[in-house]
Amino acid sequence: MSYIGQDIPKLGFGLMRLPKEGGKTDIEQTKAMVDAYMQAGLNYFDTARVYGESEDAIRQALVERYPRDSYYLATKNAAWLGAKTAEEAQAMFETSLRSTGVDYFDFYLLHNLGDTRTAVFDKFDMWEFVKRLKEKGLVKHIGFSMHDSADALEEILVAHSEMEFVQLQINYADWEDGSVQSRRCYETARKYDIPIIIMEPVRGGTLANPPASVAEILSASNPDASYASWALRFAMGLEGVITVLSGMSTIEQMEQNIELYKNYKPLDADEMNAIGKAQRELAKITTIPCTACKYCMKSCPQDINIADIMQSCNRLETYGVADGKNWYGFATMGHGKASECIGCGQCEVVCPQHIGIVGELEKAAAAFE
Ligand code: SF4
Ligand code: SF4
């Protein structure tokens, strides 16, 4: 059965982690990455208003340099991020048009549904708003991204059959995770025949450098394959997928992923067996499921670098105290320390991974300060 976007190449360029130079997005390197990606025949770009300078960067690196019909561009509406009225929430669309420089989006998403955030889209009637955008030709396809349970996903799919696709966090490490529920969310989307865009296939980069016991299992099965390639092949092999977004930050990552895409073959039975063993091994190691999306950091009154502190805690758990402390040092350079958290809880409300951030910061302060 055919579905929207099924001809889109299965490697999408996620624009959340673009290269930085002196704290600003490195436009020249972004251009080089865009060029390599386009020359490989790939053409799906995923940005969002909340990815810092991402919309502006893609205007310079792509929109001003390539014909509009040579690529697909997706962006998102984060109504939960400070909009006080429907007008303010809807005005985010116009801002995205101006920032990116296009006059329509191929894919427009209500961003990061789930938890208390879904109610904000309901309150401002953003569902009707995106339908009107589609009727006017300002967006080609409407959908949403979500971090919540499979049951919450099902509720939305039942209530909003006008949604044409869904963007979900799917990777082999979160497949059976009780909070992320990758497998159950995937199966729910399939049950409603809704095409899926996969985000976080490498779980914020952590599966490119897995714990030693997991790395050993994967290397024993295929010593030549990079760890990131296992994660990408797992995601690319799923049915009903429009594309798999990789949030690439360097030209080297781009080249490696293009190579993988060109030579892609699905995981065979032995490799799937190795993935099963890796999943069981990962389940034994307790780490904080932070994907470094940084949504939590936009409203922190103490300017705490929460994402990197979560990473420090995970490094401590997985690689030992010296590595954890090293990361913590970088995480707090020019930012508030974990002990400076005032417990306001604003970060936890927006965290798509439902992390108890305040409690984790207390543990980080005890371990590193
Ligand atoms: S609870 Fe702490 S880390 Fe979270 S937003 Fe408030 S001050 Fe920042
Ligand atoms: S703590 Fe949550 S919101 Fe913050 S970076 Fe990690 S996953 Fe994102």
- Nearest residue (by CA) to ligand 1, atom 8, is 300
- pLDDT score of 324: 81
In angstroms, rounded to a whole number, what is the distance separating the alpha carbons of residues 267 and 192?
26
CA of 289 to the centre of ligand 1 (A): 18
- pLDDT score of 319: 62
User: With contact defined as beta carbons under 8 Å apart, do 12 and 261 qualify?
Assistant: no
- pLDDT score of 283: 78
Distances (CA, A) of 170 to 174, 233, 330, 335: 7, 12, 29, 31
Mean pLDDT of 58-71: 98
Would you state the structure tokens that stand for residue 124, as one six-digit string? 């401002």
Ligand 1 touching residue 359 (CB < 6 A): no
- pLDDT score of 247: 93
CA of 120 to the centre of ligand 1 (A): 21
User: With contact defined as beta carbons under 8 Å apart, do 79 and 121 qualify?
Assistant: yes
- pLDDT score of 164: 98
The model's pLDDT over 345-368, given as tens digits with 9 standing for 90+, comes to 999 999 988 999 999 999 999 999
CA of 16 to the centre of ligand 2 (A): 13
Atom of ligand 1 nearest to the CA of 296: 5
Counting Cα atoms < 13 Å in the Cβ hemisphere of 285 gives 22
pTM of the model: 0.83
Mean pLDDT of 264-282: 95
Residue 315 pLDDT grade (very low, low, confident, very high; cuts 50, 70, 90):
confident
In angstroms, rounded to a whole number, what is the distance separating the alpha carbons of residues 19 and 15?
10
Residues in the ligand 2 pocket, defined by CB under 6 Å? 290-296, 306-307, 310, 351-353, 355, 357
Q: Is the pLDDT score of 173 beyond 80?
A: yes
CA of 359 to the centre of ligand 2 (A): 14
In angstroms, rounded to a whole number, what is the distance separating the alpha carbons of residues 189 and 150?
9
- Nearest residue (by CA) to ligand 1, atom 6, is 344
- pLDDT score of 178: 67
* Nearest of 196, 278, 206, 207 to residue 237 by alpha carbon: 196
Could you tell me the domains of the chain? 11-284 (3.20.20.100), 295-368 (no CATH)
Ligand 1 touching residue 303 (CB < 6 A): no
Q: Is the pLDDT score of 276 beyond 90?
A: yes
The model's pLDDT over 90-147, given as tens digits with 9 standing for 90+, comes to 999 999 999 999 999 999 999 989 867 899 999 999 999 999 999 999 999 999 999 8
The model's pLDDT over 7-51, given as tens digits with 9 standing for 90+, comes to 999 999 999 999 999 889 999 999 999 999 999 999 999 999 988
Atom of ligand 1 nearest to the CA of 306: 3
